[in-house]
Amino acid sequence: MTDSATSTPVLETKDLVAGYLPGVNILNGCSIVANQGDLIGIIGPNGAGKSTLLKAVFGQVNVRGGEILLHGEEISGLKADKLVTKGVGMVPQNNNVFPSLTIEENLEMGVFQDPRSFKERFEFVAGLFPELVSRRRQRAGSLSGGERQMVAMGRALMMDPSVLLLDEPSAGLSPVRQDETFLRVAEINSHGVTIVMVEQNARRCLQISHRAYVLDQGKDAYTGTGREMLNDPKVIQLYLGTLATDVEEKAKTASQATVEPRQAE
């Protein structure tokens, strides 16, 4: 992490107001800061605006007020393709791979604007996800949920982003796959990649986050280090108990539905 007192944040939102439908705001003055090398966790109840925050940053939601700054430059209103060229990577919760393409072809999509960088970036991604290398010619549609998540994160990392936005990377995964995913996220961050992660699994998110924000009704209600938030009685009472119950139910459902991934032919 970089000393926030002497550096320009990699990503910052100031009093952000955004929404999907005319006259209906989901974000109502949301402010977050991510400095170089930070792993920022975003938690909160359903409907709080967590995913909307990432979509607003990535140009997928109408911004109606406030600012979004990337290295101090205003980027509000820019489209996703332009944001990618500026170094913003996004891994959505759903539909995050091209199922008809192979693993390698999915990764190639990450460098479509600079194909010459494929070899160098592939080596980096392969170091993080070595299990993908031997299966690089397997279609992404045949992978398990956890493996698809690896491909999606790998594709976003192929562009060497300044900041990586992760929208609920553990959603729909079994408890074992969830643990693997959080370990991968922490490892990616250890290479200096700044990460802003929205998560349903609040406790695991806070355990690996340098700093975290609780969103409620479209605003940042609480903020602190991950450790502080884990031990804050008010955060525990108002959020962690309910969130933990929701996650346990979803994880139980995912575990029951888990099937063995199909191997490459």
Mean pLDDT of all residues in the chain? Answer: 90
CATH number at residue 73: 3.40.50.300
**Is residue 114 over pLDDT 60?**
yes
Tokens of 23: 């006259």
Kindly report, residue by residue over 19-40, the tens digit of the pLDDT.
999 999 999 999 999 999 999 9
Neighbour order of strands in the sheet with 11-19: 27-34, 11-19, 62-70, 73-74
Cα–Cα distance, 210 to 10 (Å, whole number): 15
Q: Residue 122 sits in which domain range?
A: 11-257
* Entry pTM: 0.88
Looking at the domain assignment, is residue 2 inside a domain?
no
Residue 260: which pLDDT band, with cuts at 50, 70 and 90?
Answer: very low
Domain contains 1: no
In a domain, 92, yes or no: yes
Residue 184 in tokens: 């991968």
The residue with tokens 């494929």 is 118
Q: How many domains does the chain have?
A: 1
For 96, residues 6+ apart whose C-beta sits below 8 A from its C-beta are 148, 149, 152
- The pLDDT value recorded for residue 238 is 83
Cα 74–67–162 angle (5° rounding)?
50
| pLDDT > 90 in the chain, percent | 81
Domain presence at residue 4: no
Instruction: Report if residue 30 sits inside a domain.
Output: yes
Beta strands in 48-162 (DSSP E): 62-70, 73-74, 88-91
Q: What is the pLDDT of residues 178-225, one digit of tens each?
A: 999 999 999 999 999 999 999 999 999 999 999 999 999 999 999 999
DSSP state of 115: G
Can you tell me the distance from the alpha carbon of 112 to that of 93, in angstroms, rounded to the nearest whole number? Answer: 22
Asked, for residue 57, whether it belongs to a domain, the answer is yes
Task: Tell me, yes or no, whether 263 lies in a domain.
Answer: no
Q: Is 91 helix (H, G, I), strand (E, B) or coil?
A: strand
111 falls within a domain: yes
pLDDT greater than 70 at residue 255 = no
265 Cβ contact partners less than 8 Å away, ≥ 6 residues apart: none
Say whether pLDDT at 248 is over 90.
no
